[in-house]
Structure 1
Amino acid sequence: MTTNTLVNSKLVCVALNDKAQLAALESSFNEAPYKKPPTQPVLYYKPRNTWSTDGAEVEWAKDFDGVDVPAMAVGASLGVVIGKETCRVSADEALDYVGGYTIVSDFSLPEESYYRPDIKGKCLDGSAPVGPEIIPADKIANPDALRVTLSVNGHLKSNFELADMQRSVAELISIISRIMTLQPGEIIAVGFAGDRVAVAKGEKVDAQIEGVGTLTNTLGGA
């Protein structure tokens, strides 16, 4: 299976899976409108219109009136590609349902709140490149031991150890499979560094995971 065939599937992203980010927001989550910290994974979709591929140009977002938005940001995650129908599986067996691993970049508007799903900020056309390829699951001994880096124009901007996630890959597969049935080829982006990286028009973004590859995209505009 190539990443080009995955654009017809669904992509589920996990927000707030960075332990450090959760700790920094703890006091905010105890206030209105949240009232308490999240007790379950915070999920959002990147629908089909957002899916893109390695090497593609990501269009700079525009506001409702067609004017360029003032700022965009990007995060990178390990993408867990489901290998077979997955429904209500335990954490102990969850990795047996993984077909492979890839990289997901999420270009979006800067997040201001986690209380309501940010449809506008997360559903921009072409804003979720996936790639550069799918590495078979048996080639990655422990997905939680991987490290996700993100560079802009060759300069390292983010370094996220998946060991620092609030919930492991297996835990997330198990929990999500109890919410929805996952089909072969569908992807879970398991966690992003809490600090998204600000990007500007024309910049080149490299998301890299050792053993998985480097996903490269550029932002449109001069």
Structure 2
Amino acid sequence: MTAPHPGATPPWQPAGTVYGVLLNFEHEYAQWLPRMHEAPYKAPPQAPVLYVKTANTWNPDGGAVALPAGASGLEVGATLGLVQDAQGQWAAALLNDFSLPHDSYFRPPVPYRCRDGFLGTPAALRPLASLAELATLRLSVHVNGDLRQTVDLGQLRRDAATLWADVNGFMTLRPGDVLMLGCDVAADGQRPRLQLGDTVELRAPGFAPLRHHVCAEEAHA
């Protein structure tokens, strides 16, 4: 990763807690719907299903993300994060919610989601007022220059405003907290998977591209 020039603006990092949400895209929800009726819950969730991306996961634009030895790959999670400051101003961050492949629906496993460097963060936020309507945005995932996935925010089960309100219905999001809108799956039910040496770039209208490359865990340590 290239060091910033002296006097350069440091890259943005979350000032609060980063929350992810599961099952917030129509295709992802439909994929898991049969299992929602299994024990112990036996019914679809009524409130947003959240998890936390801990501070050790934050990885600035241009950084390396480590693939553990023996892992079958690294899943890409293209998403937007909502942020509100102390003055009530809204902004969005283009984020890459990396995870290791796993098949757990009931409990997002921390060892697969919260490894060092597993949240790609941008150089800067974008004010919501400067962006088009979020429901019209599409995020694209490019691996080694090839388009691998398009994420349509019009397919959210809870749009940005509804998700923020529903989460605040049972917990208070504080200024600086980040609420991610969710990560979709492709038609085959999978997310793009990276291998050692791959470079992934996320793009979205109004945002600077977000790039990371995959290295071996030993080389990253």
Normalised to the residue count of structure 2, the TM-score between the two structures is 0.85
Deviation at 1:115, TM superposition (A): 0.5
Deviation at 1:183, TM superposition (A): 2.5
| Partner of residue 53, structure 1 | 60
Contact 1:80 1:100 in 2 (8 A): yes
| Partner of residue 216, structure 1 | 211
Find the aligned partners of 1:36 and 1:136 in 2 and give their Cα distance.
38
| Partner of residue 75, structure 2 | 73
Which residues of structure 1 form unaligned runs of 5+? 62-66, 86-96
Choose the corresponding residue for 1:200, options 192, 195, 202.
195
Deviation at 1:75, TM superposition (A): 1.1
| Partner of residue 11, structure 2 | 4
Deviation at 1:5, TM superposition (A): 4.3
Identity of aligned residues (%): 32
**Deviates most, 122-131 or 183-192:** 183-192
Distance 1:3 1:30, change over 3 A: farther
Deviation at 1:198, TM superposition (A): 1.0
The amino acid of 1:74's aligned partner reads V
Distance 1:193 1:51, change over 3 A: same
Contact 2:72 2:101 in 1 (8 A): no
CA RMSD of the aligned region, Å? 2.0
| Partner of residue 24, structure 1 | 31
The amino acid of 1:202's aligned partner reads G
Does residue 165 in structure 1 map to residue 156 in structure 2? yes
Deviation at 1:196, TM superposition (A): 1.6
Find the aligned partners of 1:134 and 1:57 in 2 and give their Cα distance.
21
How is 1:35-46 mapped onto 2 (pairs within 5 angstroms)? Answer: 35-46=42-53
Contact 2:78 2:151 in 1 (8 A): no
Deviation at 1:3, TM superposition (A): 7.5
Normalised to the residue count of structure 1, the TM-score between the two structures is 0.84
Deviation at 1:34, TM superposition (A): 3.9
Find the aligned partners of 2:58 and 2:170 in 1 and give their Cα distance.
22
How is 1:16-165 mapped onto 2 (pairs within 5 angstroms)? Answer: 16-61=23-68, 67-84=69-86, 97-165=88-156
The amino acid of 2:72's aligned partner reads P
Number of residue pairs matched? Answer: 205
Which residues of structure 2 form unaligned runs of 5+? 1-8
Choose the corresponding residue for 1:174, options 135, 141, 165.
165
Find the aligned partners of 2:34 and 2:105 in 1 and give their Cα distance.
14
